[in-house]
Every structure is written in structure tokens, then in C-alpha cells.
Structure 1
Amino acid sequence: MSTMTSTGSTGGPASAPSGPARTKAGRGPHLSGMNWLVWRQHRAACWTLLATAAVTVAGIVYGRHRMVTYLEGHGWPDLQSGWEQGFDQGPLNMAAQLLGFAPLLIGVFMGAPLLAGDLESGTAKLVNAQSAGRVRWLATKLGVTTLVVAVCTTAASVAFTWWWSPVKSSSYVMSWADASAFDSSGPVPVALTLFTVVGGVAIGMLLRRTLLSMAVTFGFAVAVQIVWSHFRMALGDAVTVTTGNGVGDEAFPKLPDSAHVVDQSYLTASGDLIGWGSCAEATEKAATACLEKAQVVGWHVEYLPLSQMSSMQWLGSSILLALTACIAAFVILWGRKRLV
């Protein structure tokens, strides 16, 4: 029985392309080795996050276009008085609230299962038997995941900051000191999300059960948000203003636009401070008598100006990223000897 064999011009068997042809075929960025393995394993979650970020940015671009169109009708960038009356602040507030859920959702669905799934299914034992090593595997898992998370949250944060910037100085639209604005703009969303995700990875590594790790990571993310909400305003350097011309309606000190009042008290003639609610009597006459008895002479007000927002965000984000790096180091050091 005869067989047919393809031959080249020399009559020998055909061979794979070499030289320039092979170089041209392999040209372009591509993943290989451990990077390819990790991306292949988690590509569904990564593509979902990337697609969600793309849709979010597109929605923000559309929202910004509509907002600027309205503002230009009222003289933007030098807005005329009364522009707030017809301004629809709903889309901006809704976007801020949705971005506020990003650390929790990404931490639960990407961070917690990252190692817990491999440990529960036994995949980690298979990887441990290969020549790559645990440290390289852990570093690649963390690196690929945090890179995708950082890119997506940075894109969403930059877009939201750009959308909000034309009305940032107006407390009517959104107060900069509220979580909806402070935690959804600048570097804060990136830092909060990375901290929650890496924390979820550590929880999954220790608990070794996917569903349990996701539940505990949910609680961890909620606790982080609660602690952060109490810690956030302490990042600023409060400015103090005192007055000595009484406490009537016209005597309260004039503060900068969008200033966030940290504390306000009555100032007495002796220089002591008493709570502004100390003389909240039922009648105006009784309240006046109370103020006179306490020898109240003016106000003592502490506030944070809008100008401190950026420095507060970067300081807080630096602390969160430092804690994230510590947790990542713990994951690698613990996993190096005790992962399997």
C-alpha cells in the first residue's frame, strides 16, 4: 500500500516554518507559563469585572455629557445663581452608591474564592507537586488578580471624579465629606477594594472552604467600611474659628463653601467650652437666660475645608495600601510552608 507524503522543493518531508516566518507568527503580546495558567483559571471572573468596568465608565461618560449640557445652559463654568433648582442629582448619587459597593462585591466574589477554591478542590496539591513552587504560584495569583482589580477600579474612580468635578464645590449636589463622594473618587476606591480583596484571599487561605470564606469576607468588608467611616474624617487637620460677638442668628462664624463642620461649641467668658445643645430650652426666654447664666460670649467651631479632601484621600489610601501589602506578605509567607 502506498502512502503520500508532502514534500518541499528538495523532495524531503514538509517541516514547520522557521526563520522570519516563525518570528512573524509568534509576534505580539501573549501569556505563558504560570501567568497563562492563572489567567485561564480565573478568566471568567476577570472578564466579568473588566466588562462591568467598561459599562460603568460608558455610563459615567454619558451622565457627564448630560450634566455638562445642563450646566452650560446656566453659564458653566461660572454658574449662575439658582442653577441647583432644576439639577437632577439622582444619577450622580446613584453612581456613587453603586461604586461604594465595589469593595464588598469584588472582595467576596474574587478575593475569597481565589485560594479557598483551590484548597477545597485539591488543585493546590496538584500545583504543589509541580516544579513551579508555591511562592511563585501565590505571587502570580495575587499579582494577576490585583492588577485586574486595580485597573478596573482606577478606571471607574477616574471617570466618576471627572463626572463630579464641575459641581464638586456644591454641597447641594453631594457633600465631599460623605461616604458617597469621598469613597467613590480619587485613590480611595482602589485602595479600599484592594484591601478587601487581599483580605478575602487571606481569609480563604486560612478557612479553606469557599462558601464559608465568602461569608466571612462579607463580614470583613462590612467591618472595614464601618471602621473606615469613623476614621475617614480624622485624616484631616481641623481648622478652628472662635467668635466673641454673641450666639445670635447673625453671629455664627462664616465658613468657606462646602466646609465640613467637625464640632461646634459655645465659648464662655472664662474661655471654657460647653456643648451647643446645653441651652436647648423649651422657650426662647429660657434659652437666653441659660446662655447668660453660663456667660456665653461666642462660638467655637472646628471644620475641614474642601481643599483638604485630596490630601486626606491620599493619606488614607496610603495607609490602606500599606496594610494590603502586609496582608499579601502574610499570604505568601504562610502559604510557603503551610498552604497544603
Structure 2
Amino acid sequence: MSNLTKTSATSSDTSSTTTQGLRLGGMNWLIWRQHRAGFGTLLGITALAVAWLVYQRMDLMDYLTAHGWPDSEPDKWLPGVHLQRFQFVSYGLGFVPIVLGVFLGAPLLAGDLENGTAKLVASQSATPSRWLATKLGISSLVVIVCTTALSIAFGRWWGPTKYAPLVLGWSDGSAFDTTGPVPVALALFTFVGGVAIGMLMRRTLISMVVTFAFAVIVQVVWHFERLNLGHVVTITTHDGIGPSTTPHLPTAAIEIDTSLISGSGQTYGWGTCAQEASERVCAQKYNLVGWSVDYLPISQMSSMQWLGASILFILTAAVAVFIFSRGRKRIV
């Protein structure tokens, strides 16, 4: 009886220790409790969005399979694909980095600096570095979990139709910025940028306004630099310059530039012959022998995404170093 009691007590203690070990404690608990409403809202909305995207993929796969996908031509199944739904969802996902930067990143430190919570933290035994690391770490983890889940779910929904440019162009922000590592990197950079802005401005509202402007600038710069992440492929022909002699590009390839080429290898703009009397006269005048087309194949999409994401991750790390460097010196 004594052994049984001892065993029961030991099991109870072990169970209690295990239960406590699974709970947040100390600084982690404090940060989670302080921001639990925002974190819970983000995680809840993400869960609902992912469930809806999973359902959309199942519905799409049933339809495609019934119409002979993947062996059938796109014109057999494309009419039944809800193109507007893809475009609307991708448009909404494009705002996720901005929303996270403005409503989570900007107030994260600005709110504590404005209402005096930072002074209270600085007077405790925990160091400012630990407080910053916990606050930034837990928030970043929530951002990564949410954006990764959305990226995977949307990528799987769009994946079966990725070779049909009419659904979503792979090089456009609607697909490129909402799948793979790019949405995670964009959201994390915008979020950490918002945290840095909030630390400098020290006022929640103005920090949110400035962060919104920062996020828009990031999106604009990213839009113009996106295609520069790829390695341009050139294909040429020497079969004349008639319309039927233009090169045939791979499926879903993005055409960057088209030029006419002469026998000596010199290139001319595709509109060179527009003012000439005839195509034949133009060809003789410039010794034109064919076409030269620069393009990006869809096979480069993944490598372009990881290259761009790597650049954004490096920039994010640089901003985080700035936050810790300034935070150790002047957090209140």
C-alpha cells in the first residue's frame, strides 16, 4: 500500500511537471499575454483562410480530373476555372505584409514606449535585450507561421493551373509574391521594419502611418525589381522576319524583349520595318535574317523566389540588429 501511494504520488508529480513544462512562463508568458488578442486573431483568421483554400483545391481537383487534367489541353478545363476567384484571393494576400507591418509591427514597441510600459520593464530584473528578443521573437514566429501556412495553401490551390497564364501570371505579384518563400520574407521584412519605425517614432498612430508608407514603398520597389532576379534566356532564328518565323517560346514563358537580327548579328527593334515600303525592302535594307527573343522560363520561378527571399531575409536581419543595438542603449 505504501509503495502504491508512493508510485501514485511520483506519477502525479511527473504529470504536474510535464504540464507546467508545456506552459509559457516568465517573459514568454508576459509577452504572449500582452499581445494575446492580436496573436489569437491572426492565428484564427489564418486557420479559417487555410481551411477555405484547402477546400478550394479539393473542389478544383475534382473539376480538373473530371475534364481530363493533366492530359487534356487547357481550353478543355479553363472555362470552368473561377479566374476572378484566384485573382481576388491573390490580391487580398498581397495586402498581408502591409497589414502585418502596420497593425502588428508598428505598435509593438511604440505602444509600450508611449504608455510607459517600457519604463516598467526597464526597472525589472530582465534586461532590455531579453525583453526585445522575446517580444520580437514571439511576434516574428506568429508572422512566419501565418504567412507560411497561407503560402503553402494558396500555392497548392494554384499549382495545377500554373502553366495557364490566363489564371495567374507566374511572374506577376499575384502568384510570385503569394507562393513559396516570398510572402514570408516580404511580411517579415515589413513587420520588422514597422517595429524599427515604432521604436524611433515612439508614438503608435504616427508609427502606423509611416509604416504604411514604408510598406507601400517596399511593394513598389519589389514590383520593379522582381524580374531582375532571373537569368534571361535568348532564343534566335534565321528563317526570315515574317510573322510565322518568330521563335516558339516554352509554355508559360515570359517574353522580355523581341528584336530583329541582321546577318552580322546586330539587333534592331521589332518596329524597325514599320515605316518601310514592305517587309522585303526592309529585310534587304538592314540585311535582316531573323528574330531574337529574350524570355524567362517558368522553371526559374523557384530559384528567383528564393534569391529574392534571401535578400529580404538579409535586410530583415540588418534591421533586427539595428533594433537590438539601439534598444540596449536607449529603450525608454
Is 1:198 the equivalent of 2:189?
A: no
For the residue of structure 1 that corresponds to 2:35, the secondary structure is helix
Mapping of residues 208-287 of structure 1, within 5 Å:
208-281=202-275, 285=277
**Larger helix proportion of the pair:** 2
Partner of 1:142: 136
Residue by residue over 1:119-158, the C-alpha shift from the partner in whole angstroms, topping out at 9 and shown as x without a partner, is: 1111111100111010000000110000011001000101
Residue by residue over 1:229-276, the C-alpha shift from the partner in whole angstroms, topping out at 9 and shown as x without a partner, is: 111111111111111222211110011000011221121233222222
For the residue of structure 1 that corresponds to 2:125, the secondary structure is coil
- Pick the aligned partner of 2:41 from 35, 48, 56: 48
Structure 2 counterpart of 1:49, which letter?
A: L
Partner of 1:308: 300
Aligned-residue sequence identity (percent) comes to 55
User: 2:74–2:164: 8 Å Cα contact kept in structure 1?
Assistant: no
For the residue of structure 2 that corresponds to 1:271, the secondary structure is coil
Greater shift, 289-298 or 140-149, is seen at 289-298
Structure 2 spans left out of the alignment, 5+ residues:
1-7
- Following superposition, the deviation at residue 62 of structure 1 comes to 1.5
**Distance (Å, rounded) in 1 between the aligned partners of 2:236 and 2:198:** 52
Structure 1 counterpart of 2:23, which letter?
A: H
**Distance (Å, rounded) in 1 between the aligned partners of 2:280 and 2:97:** 50
For the residue of structure 2 that corresponds to 1:280, the secondary structure is helix
Q: Which has the larger radius of gyration?
A: 1
Structure 1 counterpart of 2:299, which letter?
A: S
Structure 1 spans left out of the alignment, 5+ residues:
1-16
For the residue of structure 1 that corresponds to 2:243, the secondary structure is coil
- Following superposition, the deviation at residue 26 of structure 1 comes to 4.4
For the residue of structure 2 that corresponds to 1:302, the secondary structure is strand
- Following superposition, the deviation at residue 70 of structure 1 comes to 1.4
Residue by residue over 1:75-109, the C-alpha shift from the partner in whole angstroms, topping out at 9 and shown as x without a partner, is: 12323452223332222222211111110111110
Mapping of residues 74-93 of structure 1, within 5 Å:
74-80=67-73, 82-83=75-76, 84-93=78-87
Greater shift, 70-79 or 329-338, is seen at 70-79
**Distance (Å, rounded) in 1 between the aligned partners of 2:112 and 2:304:** 39
Is 1:57 the equivalent of 2:50?
A: yes
User: 2:109–2:202: 8 Å Cα contact kept in structure 1?
Assistant: yes
**Distance (Å, rounded) in 2 between the aligned partners of 1:192 and 1:270:** 45
Partner of 1:6: none
- Following superposition, the deviation at residue 21 of structure 1 comes to 3.2
User: 1:236–1:312: 8 Å Cα contact kept in structure 2?
Assistant: yes
Partner of 2:5: none
Structure 1 counterpart of 2:27, which letter?
A: M
Structure 2 counterpart of 1:112, which letter?
A: A
**Distance (Å, rounded) in 2 between the aligned partners of 1:179 and 1:120:** 36
Partner of 2:288: 296
Partner of 1:12: none
- Following superposition, the deviation at residue 287 of structure 1 comes to 6.1
- Pick the aligned partner of 1:31 from 24, 27, 31: 24
Partner of 1:336: 328
Partner of 2:3: none
**Distance (Å, rounded) in 1 between the aligned partners of 2:203 and 2:236:** 57
TM-score after normalising by structure 1: 0.90
For the residue of structure 2 that corresponds to 1:131, the secondary structure is coil
- Following superposition, the deviation at residue 24 of structure 1 comes to 2.6
- Following superposition, the deviation at residue 18 of structure 1 comes to 7.3
Is 1:321 the equivalent of 2:310?
A: no
**Distance (Å, rounded) in 1 between the aligned partners of 2:133 and 2:273:** 61
- Following superposition, the deviation at residue 286 of structure 1 comes to 5.4
The structure-2 alpha-carbon separation of the partners of 1:140 and 1:271, relative to structure 1 and needing over 3 Å to count, comes to same
Structure 2 counterpart of 1:206, which letter?
A: L
- Following superposition, the deviation at residue 299 of structure 1 comes to 1.1
Mapping of residues 62-211 of structure 1, within 5 Å:
62-80=55-73, 82-83=75-76, 84-211=78-205
User: 1:71–1:79: 8 Å Cα contact kept in structure 2?
Assistant: no
For the residue of structure 2 that corresponds to 1:279, the secondary structure is helix
User: 1:63–1:91: 8 Å Cα contact kept in structure 2?
Assistant: no
Partner of 2:12: 21
User: 1:203–1:216: 8 Å Cα contact kept in structure 2?
Assistant: yes
The structure-2 alpha-carbon separation of the partners of 1:244 and 1:45, relative to structure 1 and needing over 3 Å to count, comes to same
